[in-house]
Amino acid sequence: PDLANEVYIHNFPATPLWPKTIEGISLKDFDRLSIDMILMSPPCQPFTRIGRQGDVSDPRTRSFLYILDILPRLAKLPKYLLLENVKGFETSSARDELIRTLEKCGFTYQEFLLSPTCLGIPNSRLRYFLIASLQSEPFPFQDPGKILTDFPSQEPASSETSSVPAASAKHSSPKAAKDLGSGYDNDGRQRPQDFLFKLETAEQLERKQQVDRDLSVQMLKAYLQDDDGEEMSQFFLPAKSLLRYAFLLDIVTPSCRRSTCFTKGYGHYIEGTGSVLQTAEEIQLESVFKSFEGLSEDEKLTKLSMLKLRYFTPREIANLQGFPPEFGFPDKVTTKQRYRLLGNSLNVHVVSKLISILVG
């Protein structure tokens, strides 16, 4: 939290920031602020598939439950509320408690499962969102009991609006399935299947190719930095990582229209933490991995080195997540710390569009 606060102050020096926990803000403090909007992104670990799924019993949900407890007791309710969390939150007890509180306070709300790919951004980051308003009239696109899987046209809900029943939202929607078409589950871990080469099935390869043919999504090259210069050399994968994890890497090229979700472990851990970039686009991936097992370590390394694989830089991940060019980090923040902060962040364009829909 302290490091995130430092980065925030670095970018928004004129904005007041309270270096305290949510539970440290009293009811009197909240009433004095007389806030119009609450934006929440509670810790996701209690709800993620690779966590213990402690839900409301996890101590990390205390700040969220504190907000739910204090909300009905405010002298003046906020007009708007937006919450973000991982896919999996929609089936939690914490979500049920949130809905009960919103209904008790008289909020109108709508739930979503959205990824930046909905906006043509070539990065999969499927997340749960909820928007709520104190307005007496329902949203024009509202679909009670359903979780929308695309942005609404702000016309009355119709068959053109993709949605899944809230009760069965733990199953991927068609759009979510397309978004996760790289052979990875919602938390970025590779699904076990029968493989061709590079631990990928024919179905997974076809899904990747299908995404790359979707012209509504931009190519990655629009988000990349110049590859020239010594500064970029630090991001190339070391020989040890290439040899040990070659079959687990999700490899993309600048002309691809997809990348997997970047997590806080990116650059430190390999499996399921995000895609790596093949900068030698002229090399066919299949030619490198076919008959790979029969080679010596030196021969394997020679083949893999042809691909010129590197990590996405923190600036490139920030670009994919919608941070403006002027966004930056204090010089003392290390590359590893930048990856961690970005991996715990969210997509600015997705949130800003939801806010515009909420208040529009």
Kindly report, residue by residue over 54-73, the tens digit of the pLDDT. Answer: 665 666 678 889 999 999 99
The percent of residues in the chain predicted with pLDDT above 70, rounded, is 82
CATH number 3.40.50.150 given to 2-171+347-359: yes
Catalytic residue chosen out of the listed positions 44, 118, 256, 261: 44
Mean pLDDT of 165-191: 46
Fold for 202-343, please state it: DNA Methylase; Chain A, domain 2 (3.90.120)
With contact defined as beta carbons under 8 Å apart, do 56 and 97 qualify? yes
- The pLDDT of residue 98 is 95
pLDDT one-digit tens code per residue, 237-293: 999 999 999 988 999 999 999 999 999 999 999 888 999 999 999 999 888 988 888
Task: In whole angstroms, give the CA distance from residue 359 to residue 37.
Answer: 10
- Domain-by-domain residue ranges, the chain? 2-171+347-359, 202-343
Lowest mean pLDDT among 57-66, 196-205, 299-308, 314-323: 196-205
- The pLDDT of residue 360 is 82
Task: In whole angstroms, give the CA distance from residue 235 to residue 275.
Answer: 13
- The pLDDT of residue 43 is 73
- The pLDDT of residue 198 is 65
- The pLDDT of residue 195 is 40
Task: In whole angstroms, give the CA distance from residue 230 to residue 151.
Answer: 41
The half-sphere exposure of 351 on its side-chain side, counting CA atoms within 13 A, is 18
The reply to whether 261 belongs to the active site is no
Per-residue pLDDT at 193 exceeds 50: no
Task: In whole angstroms, give the CA distance from residue 208 to residue 251.
Answer: 11
Per-residue pLDDT at 180 exceeds 50: no
The full DSSP string for 146-214 is EEESS---SS---TTS-EEEGGGTTSPPHHHHHHTTTTB-TTSPBPP---SSTT--HHHHHHHHHHHT-
Task: In whole angstroms, give the CA distance from residue 130 to residue 107.
Answer: 12
**Residues 238-269: b if buried by 16+ CB within 10 A, e if exposed:** eeebbeeebeebbbbbeebbbbbbbbbbbbee
Per-residue pLDDT at 185 exceeds 90: no
> Which residues face 251 on adjacent strands?
276
With contact defined as beta carbons under 8 Å apart, do 288 and 303 qualify? yes
Q: What is the dihedral angle through the alpha carbons of 161, 165, 166, 172, rounded to the nearest 10 degrees?
A: -80
Mean pLDDT of 161-177: 53
Lowest mean pLDDT among 35-44, 122-131, 243-252, 298-307: 35-44
Alpha helices in 233-284 (DSSP H): 239-245
pLDDT one-digit tens code per residue, 335-359: 999 999 999 999 999 999 999 999 9
